[in-house]
Amino acid sequence: MVKRLCLAIGAGLSLSAAYEPLALAWLLPPAVACYALALRGLTVRRAGLVGLAFGVAFYFTHIAWMRTSIGPDAWAALSSVEAAFYGLLGLTVPLLRRLPAWPVWLAAAWTTMETIRSGWPFSGMPWGRLSFAAIDTPAAPAVAYLSMTGLSFVLALAGFALAHLTEGVLEHRARGQLVRRGAGLVAVAALLLAPALFPYQVSTSGTTTVAVVQGDVPGPGNNILYDSLGVTENHVDATVALAADVAAGRAPRPDFVLWPENSTATDPFRPGPVRQGILEAASTIGVPVVVGALVDDGPDHILNQGVVWDPATGPGERYTKRHPVPYGEYIPFRRYWDPKFGQLALISRDMKSGTRTEPLRVAGVSLADAICFDVVYDDVMPPQVRDGAELLAVQTSNASFIFTHQVEQQFAITRLRAIEAGRWLTVASTNGRSGVIDPDGEVVATAEPRTTAVLVNEVGLSSDLTPAMRMGPWPSRLLAVVALLAVVWGGVAYRRGRGTPHRRGAGTEEDAVRNSSTPSPDESTRVG
C-alpha cells in the first residue's frame, strides 16, 4: 500500500508539473496513467484513499499561488475540497475496471468529475482541467473540434490507454493483446494530433481596431485598494496619451478601448473624480471605452461589471461577472455565518452574479466579455459566441496574483478559449498580463507585467462557429450519462465478481486474497 501511495503522490506532482510555471505538458498522459496503475487491483475503500493522495499532491501544488496571494487558510480549504474529488473518482475505479474497454469508461468518469467540481460547491473551481494544460502542444488545435470537455476526455483516455498497455506488458500478455492495446493508444493519439495537421479555419467577416490599456497598479502592485483612485488615473492618463498619439499620427485610431477589471474600484455612476476621469478619457479618445467597474447594488451588494461608455451618450450596455469567487468576493450563507476575521473581514458586501449570455454591442462589434475567473467557465464565453459574438475580450485584474504563477496559468487558459471559439481575443489587465491573441492561440502582442502600456491592434471578426461552439454543453451531458451508466454496470459486475476467480490482473486486491493460497504480504489485508 505504501508503494501505491508513493506512486499516486508522484503522479499528482507530475500532473501539476504539466501546467505553468513548468508547463511540461508531455507529463500529462503518464501522470494520468500512473493514477490508474496506483489504483490497480485495489478494493473500493483503498482506491478512494489512494485517489485522495493523488488529489492532494496535485491540487495543493497546482494552486500553490493561492497560499501567498490570498492566504494559507483559503489555499488549504479549497485544495482539500478539490482533492477530495479525485478520491471520490478513485472509489469508482474498481467498478469501472471490471468492464471491457475500461479506459473509455474511466475517461468519461474523470471528465464528469472535472465537470462537477467546476460548478460545485458554490461556483466550483475549474482550475486543473486536463485540457487547460494543452496550450503550446500539438493537441491544442483539437479544442476547436472537441471543446474543453471533449479535449479533457481524449487526454484522459490517452493516459488510461497508456496504463492499459503498460499493464499488458507487466502481466506478460500475449503479443496479440499487446498489439491491440497499442493500436488503441495509437488511435487515441491520432485523434489528438490530427487537428494539428488540419486546424479548423473560420472565415473573417471584417476587422476592427482595439486599444488594450494596461494602466498599472500604484504602490506594492498587488493591492488594487492601496490606491484605487490612482489605478483609475493611470488608465485615464494612458488613454489620453493614446489620443495624443492618434492626433499626431503616431498610432492608428482605435474603434474602441478596452480597460481591465477594477480599473475603477469606485462606482463610476456616482459623481466624483472616477466618473470625471472616465468622461475625460472617452471624450478625448472619441470612441467607446469598455470600463471595468465595481458598481453599487444597494447597501449589501456590489456588481463587477464591464460597462460600455460612449463618448456621446455615456454608459450603455453592461456585462456582469457570472462567477464571483466564494470567500473572495462574497460570503456564502452570510445570514447564518458572517466571519469578521482575517481576509474574510474585508468582504463587507457580497458580489452578485450576472446572468447575461448575449454579447455586448461596442462600436458596431458584437463582443463576448468575460471578467477574470469567468474565462475558465464553459457557460460564459461559449454562449455569447453562439449568440453572435464576433470578438472575445477578457477584463481581468490579477493584481492580487501578480507575484505568482496564477497569471500565466490564466493566460494559457485564455489562449485556449481563442482556439476553441475560433475568435480573436483581447485581454486587458491592470498590471499583467495584457495581450492580443489570434484564433490559433498565438500571442500577437503583449505587455510586460507591472508596466503601463497600450496595445493597439487590428483584429479579425468572425461569425462562423467551430464544432466545439456548435456542440455547446452536450459533450459534458453525454459523458455524464455514459459515466453514470458505466458506474452502475461496473457496480453490478463488481458485486457479482467478488466471489468469482478472474483472469490475472482483472480482479481486486480482495479477489487475489480469496483466490490465492499464499497471499502477498503487501496485499493480504482486506479493506473495503
Active site residues: 261, 321, 372
d(CA 4, CA 50): 7
**Burial label, 43 (beta-carbon count in 10 A; 0-12, 13-18, 19+):** buried
Name the one residue in this structure whose C-alpha cell is 499583467.
432
State the angle between helix axes of 2-17 and 28-38 in degrees (0 to 180), rounded to the nearest 10. Answer: 160
Name the one residue in this structure whose C-alpha cell is 449570455.
357
Tell which residue, 230, 239, 297, has the closest CA to residue 262: 230
State the angle between helix axes of 44-62 and 72-96 in degrees (0 to 180), rounded to the nearest 10. Answer: 140
State the angle between helix axes of 28-38 and 102-117 in degrees (0 to 180), rounded to the nearest 10. Answer: 110
d(CA 63, CA 79): 8
Q: What length is written for the chain? A: 528
Q: CB of 73 within 8 A of CB of 66?
A: no
Q: Provide the phi-psi class of 141: left if phi over 0, else alpha when psi is between -120 and 50, else beta.
A: alpha
Cα 371 off chain centre by: 13
Enter the C-alpha cell of residue 373: 475567473
Phi, psi of 367 (to 5 degrees): -115, 120
Q: Provide the phi-psi class of 484: left if phi over 0, else alpha when psi is between -120 and 50, else beta.
A: alpha
Dihedral of the alpha carbons of 260, 265, 268, 269, in degrees to the nearest 10: 130
Q: CB of 144 within 8 A of CB of 199?
A: yes
Using CA atoms, how far residue 131 sits from 16, 78, 152, 259, in Å, is: 13, 21, 5, 28
User: Residue 436 contacts by C-beta under 8 Å, 6 or more apart in sequence?
Assistant: 210, 212, 424, 425, 426, 427, 443, 444, 445, 446, 455, 457, 459
Q: CB of 236 within 8 A of CB of 281?
A: yes
